[in-house]
A and B are shown apart, each in its own frame.
Chain A
Amino acid sequence: MQALLVFLSIAALSLLASSRALDAGRFPALARLAASGFLFLLVGVLLGPSMAGVLSTRNLEGMRPVMALGLGTAGVILGLNLEPRLLRLLPRPVYSAALAHAGTAFFFVAPALVAPLLLTSGRSLQAAVGAAALLGAAASLSSGHFAVLAYRSGRMDRARGLGIALLTMLDDAVGLGVLALALVLGAATNVGEGLGLVCLAVLLGVMCGALLAFLTHALKDLAELTTVTLGGVALVGGAAAYLRVSALLAGVACGATLALVGGRTVERVARALGRVERPVFLVLVFLVGCGLHARDWAAWALVPGFVGLRFLGKVLGGKLAQRLVGSALELPPRLGYALVAQGGLALCLVAEYGMLVPGGLSQRVLDVVVVGAVVNELLAGPAFRQVLEQGPTRATQPAPGVGVAT
């Protein structure tokens, strides 16, 4: 029954999001949230156990397989983007710039929130450091969807738009790296076992990726290719969930392996996954929203600190990134303002952390990041206008086929 409820909620929201009721002229913030999928997050919060209670905690437990599938899918899509041939072509300053903006935000948020987490949770220092690191990882992530939409509509120079999208894509590596670190620290009784579990997730992903590359190698029929792709994604996410290791990391390893050894089928697999990307993402954010504890006042108290410190980190990190990148990449003057939008990967990180490190602290991390992501999404619109107002606009032809980086 819970699956039907989720399905009906998503269907109703999809209709609402595509209807004229959400006219961007009349409700710009709501329309922006609907376009980014964060409206589904809010409705999840409203229907979840801590508010309306339409979906109970037990219902959410029953939806764990869907969550694992969503995280696995997100991981494989991220991994497929890590195409080694293209990554090798990027000059070193681009990596430095990505690390600068992500790292600055991380270091603005994580160390500052260790003490409040330690004081409000009463858990060990190691657990508080792991949780603060994850908050930092979520803060380090940015979404390039505003930039992509801006250059597609001709409001921003294409090179600059793609530059921002590239930086936001590369910061995913920072987020995933910190997730791995947080799981090493928090997912097992000792660090050695935690490291073993992260390695197991990566190994599982590599094996599934290699197998998926072999399975899809000679497939010509589109229906069969789609079936095998979906089956492969379910296999990697499901196996990780079954072994209680990270589905997201396993998915990334799977996608990266596939990108490395898949040859010509990679593009077809990516296209097949692209068809289910949006629905899976919407279901995932809806379920993440349902998991929020709205009455955790300590979490609410942490949100302003999280959002404010992240904003500062992004602004200063953006400046640093501009200095480091030099002429390797064309970027707008106020880069930091273009990096305020947080994107869906931050939600994936905290959802994964919550599944593998159960307890009050991981729940608090989820609460802070969920609310923070919505606030950041609302802030991102006005912030991005600052970027557009500062930079000269060289209108270009809309470029079809360029995906929105999250």
Chain B
Amino acid sequence: MKGAVIRLLLLVGLLAIISRAQVLRADAGTPVTLAAGALLLCGLFAGKVAKGLGLPRLTGYLLVGVAVGPYALGFIPNAGVKGLELVKGLAVSLIALVAGTELRLGLIRRVGTRVALLCASVCGVTFLVCFGATFALKPLLPFLSALSVPQALAVSALVSTVVVSFSPTVTIAIVQETSARGAFTEFLMALVIIGDLFVMVAFALAAGVTKASFGGGLDVTGLLGSVGWELFGSVGVGCVLAVVVLVYMRGVKQELPLFLVGLSFAAAEGGSRLHLSPLLVALAAGALIANLDEHAGERIHQAIQQAGLPVFALFFAAAGAGLKLDALVTVGPAAMLLVALRGLAIWFSCRRFAPADDPRLKQFLWMGLISQAGVTFGLAALVSRTFPSFGPQVEVLIVAMITAHELVGPVLTRRALAASGEIRTDEAAGTA
């Protein structure tokens, strides 16, 4: 770890020199490539340092992004971080693609109904608690205080749907790291993935209602049409992409990581242009591939692990760099309150509604549902883009929550798997 710390410090030192040199120049050029390179390198070595400290790599990516970003040390200009939006979309698509390959039909048949029922209960209770709390905080939250009551209700609902979301990425990474196998692990993985489907439907509805509340009326047909298009259109496009991937894998058989990165990029950019959910497009593609050809699903998993390191390091470091620390001061207490309430709501609903035939689910499942990462980031970024008047502040609130969840979530997920007795080894390298 000492080596990683020295390398990280040298990198930060070089960034300081570049930043100082820029001050001497009258005009600055584009900072986007610098931001990409610096955040990628800093993220990678900060991830190593974090791992050495017993934290997930992801926490290291985020924290170093915060440190060198425009709102702390200021070595990376704001324009550089904003220019990395494309990477954010790409990372969300890659995360969803790999999560989709875990959605096997056999798994869904085995635990589908029970998972769906529990998922509805957990999401419902958590949503209600967070919705009530967010609305109650209206006078204290800058982005809510100026809104009318219907608008504040709609925005609270929107925020709460994002707050409910889980992290398939972190869960999958921890399961891989610990080589956990068994009924509890399957249940947990299915729940976080299906939970995100619930969240996406709810998010689409909440976004529609919010748009209507700001636009002076609720167009139910239009809303249903747009939600339907977003859901079924995304699944349809995802299926087409799955076929494209399978044809490529059978015909070309080389450079799969590069191809998947390109395809995810196209899905992210094209999806958002067509008003589809890039997340659902990639999730559906991954699921169809894994169910049509299990071997292809495994190859995709491996390929994304190869291409994933730079994309995820850059994605999370850029997310950290975009964290507006000045705004965090105002929304920090509210974020911590929501973190605590969300944790309590998940704990309560698991204790109350988890199937009784496996006592481990009632006792330990809640710990595996605390993490938040890529999906939540993606939704927060979507709120920021879709609602420029208040979205960036919501993003700050949610990123603050994610930061807290990232510090405790992966540790809790590991504890849940250990307590369930399904961990086989903890020597494998982590990827989160």
State the A residues within 8 Å of B (CB).
1, 3-4, 7-8, 11, 64-66, 68-69, 72, 200, 204, 207-208, 211, 214-215, 218, 223-224, 226-228, 230-239, 241-244, 279
* Interchain CA distance A204-B266 in the complex, whole Å: 34
In the complex, are the beta carbons of A4 and B313 less than 8 A apart? no
In the complex, are the beta carbons of A242 and B18 less than 8 A apart? yes
In the complex, are the beta carbons of B7 and A243 less than 8 A apart? no
Q: Determine how close the nearest CB of chain A comes to the CB of B155; give it in whole angstroms.
A: 28
With contacts A215-B41, A228-B44 taken as known, whether A72 is within 8 angstroms of B22 at the C-beta atoms is no
In the complex, are the beta carbons of B309 and A68 less than 8 A apart? no
Q: Determine how close the nearest CB of chain B comes to the CB of A247; give it in whole angstroms.
A: 8
In the complex, are the beta carbons of B18 and A211 less than 8 A apart? no
In the complex, are the beta carbons of A72 and B33 less than 8 A apart? yes
Residue in B14, B265, B310 whose beta carbon sits within 8 Å of that of A208 in the complex:
B14
**Cβ of B270: which chain A residues have Cβ within 8 Å of it?**
4
In the complex, are the beta carbons of A231 and B18 less than 8 A apart? no
**Cβ of B273: which chain A residues have Cβ within 8 Å of it?**
1, 4
In the complex, are the beta carbons of B3 and A218 less than 8 A apart? yes
Q: Which 9 residue pairs across A and B have the least CB separation, nearest first? A: A234-B37, A238-B33, A238-B34, A235-B37, A65-B32, A231-B40, A231-B41, A4-B269, A65-B33
Q: Which residues in window 35-52 of B have CB below 8 A to A?
A: 35-38, 40-41, 44-45
In the complex, are the beta carbons of B34 and A235 less than 8 A apart? yes
* Interchain CA distance A227-B29 in the complex, whole Å: 24
In the complex, are the beta carbons of A224 and B33 less than 8 A apart? no
* Interchain CA distance A214-B146 in the complex, whole Å: 53
Contact flags B1-42 to A (C-beta < 8 A → 1, else 0): 001000100110010011001100101111111111110110
In the complex, are the beta carbons of A244 and B29 less than 8 A apart? yes
Residue in A65, A228, A279 whose beta carbon sits within 8 Å of that of B83 in the complex:
A65
In the complex, are the beta carbons of A65 and B30 less than 8 A apart? yes
In the complex, are the beta carbons of B41 and A65 less than 8 A apart? no
Measured CB to CB, the nearest residue on chain A to B27 is: A244
**Cβ of B86: which chain A residues have Cβ within 8 Å of it?**
3
In the complex, are the beta carbons of B33 and A234 less than 8 A apart? yes
With contacts A200-B21, A227-B310, A242-B31 taken as known, whether A235 is within 8 angstroms of B3 at the C-beta atoms is no
**Cβ of B21: which chain A residues have Cβ within 8 Å of it?**
200, 204, 243
B333 within 8 Å of A by Cβ? no
* Interchain CA distance A243-B309 in the complex, whole Å: 28
**Cβ of B18: which chain A residues have Cβ within 8 Å of it?**
204, 239, 242-243
Q: Determine how close the nearest CB of chain B comes to the CB of A363; give it in whole angstroms.
A: 18
Residue in B17, B35, B77, B310 whose beta carbon sits within 8 Å of that of A207 in the complex:
B17
The residue among B86, B310, B313 with the most chain A CB atoms within 10 A of its own CB is B310
Residue in A227, A231, A241 whose beta carbon sits within 8 Å of that of B30 in the complex:
A241
With contacts A211-B14, A227-B310, A241-B29 taken as known, whether A8 is within 8 angstroms of B38 at the C-beta atoms is no
Q: Determine how close the nearest CB of chain B comes to the CB of A172; give it in whole angstroms.
A: 23
Residue in A4, A231, A243 whose beta carbon sits within 8 Å of that of B310 in the complex:
A231
B306 within 8 Å of A by Cβ? yes
Q: Determine how close the nearest CB of chain B comes to the CB of A261; give it in whole angstroms.
A: 14
* Interchain CA distance A127-B42 in the complex, whole Å: 41
Residue in B7, B32, B37, B266 whose beta carbon sits within 8 Å of that of A233 in the complex:
B37
Measured CB to CB, the nearest residue on chain A to B306 is: A223
Measured CB to CB, the nearest residue on chain B to A230 is: B310
The residue among B3, B29, B32, B40 with the most chain A CB atoms within 10 A of its own CB is B29
State the B residues within 8 Å of A (CB).
3, 7, 10-11, 14, 17-18, 21-22, 25, 27-38, 40-41, 44-45, 77, 80, 83, 86, 258, 262, 265-266, 269-270, 273, 305-306, 309-310, 313
10 A-B pairs (CB sep. < 8 Å)? A7-B269, A64-B29, A65-B30, A68-B30, A226-B310, A237-B33, A241-B33, A243-B28, A244-B25, A244-B28
Residue in A7, A69, A238, A244 whose beta carbon sits within 8 Å of that of B266 in the complex:
A7
With contacts A227-B310, A242-B22 taken as known, whether A4 is within 8 angstroms of B31 at the C-beta atoms is no
Residue in A11, A224, A232, A237 whose beta carbon sits within 8 Å of that of B262 in the complex:
A11
Measured CB to CB, the nearest residue on chain B to A11 is: B262
**Cβ of B33: which chain A residues have Cβ within 8 Å of it?**
65-66, 68-69, 72, 234, 237-238, 241-242
In the complex, are the beta carbons of B37 and A232 less than 8 A apart? yes
Measured CB to CB, the nearest residue on chain A to B21 is: A243
Measured CB to CB, the nearest residue on chain A to B311 is: A227
With contacts A3-B86, A244-B25 taken as known, whether A227 is within 8 angstroms of B37 at the C-beta atoms is no
In the complex, are the beta carbons of A234 and B36 less than 8 A apart? yes
**Cβ of B27: which chain A residues have Cβ within 8 Å of it?**
244
Measured CB to CB, the nearest residue on chain B to A218 is: B3
**Cβ of B258: which chain A residues have Cβ within 8 Å of it?**
279
* Interchain CA distance A111-B331 in the complex, whole Å: 66
In the complex, are the beta carbons of B37 and A238 less than 8 A apart? yes
* Interchain CA distance A7-B34 in the complex, whole Å: 21
- Given pairs A1-B273, A241-B34, A242-B28, 11 additional interface contacts (CB within 8 A): A4-B273, A65-B30, A66-B33, A214-B7, A223-B305, A223-B306, A238-B37, A241-B31, A242-B77, A243-B22, A279-B258
With contacts A231-B44, A243-B22, A244-B27 taken as known, whether A7 is within 8 angstroms of B38 at the C-beta atoms is no
In the complex, are the beta carbons of B309 and A223 less than 8 A apart? yes
Q: Determine how close the nearest CB of chain A comes to the CB of B300; give it in whole angstroms.
A: 16
**Cβ of B306: which chain A residues have Cβ within 8 Å of it?**
223
**Cβ of B14: which chain A residues have Cβ within 8 Å of it?**
207-208, 211, 235
With contacts A207-B14, A208-B14, A242-B18 taken as known, whether A235 is within 8 angstroms of B265 at the C-beta atoms is no
With contacts A4-B265, A7-B262, A234-B40 taken as known, whether A214 is within 8 angstroms of B30 at the C-beta atoms is no
**Cβ of B309: which chain A residues have Cβ within 8 Å of it?**
223-224, 227
In the complex, are the beta carbons of A243 and B37 less than 8 A apart? no
**Cβ of B7: which chain A residues have Cβ within 8 Å of it?**
214-215
In the complex, are the beta carbons of A7 and B40 less than 8 A apart? no
In the complex, are the beta carbons of A211 and B32 less than 8 A apart? no
Q: Determine how close the nearest CB of chain B comes to the CB of A351; give it in whole angstroms.
A: 14
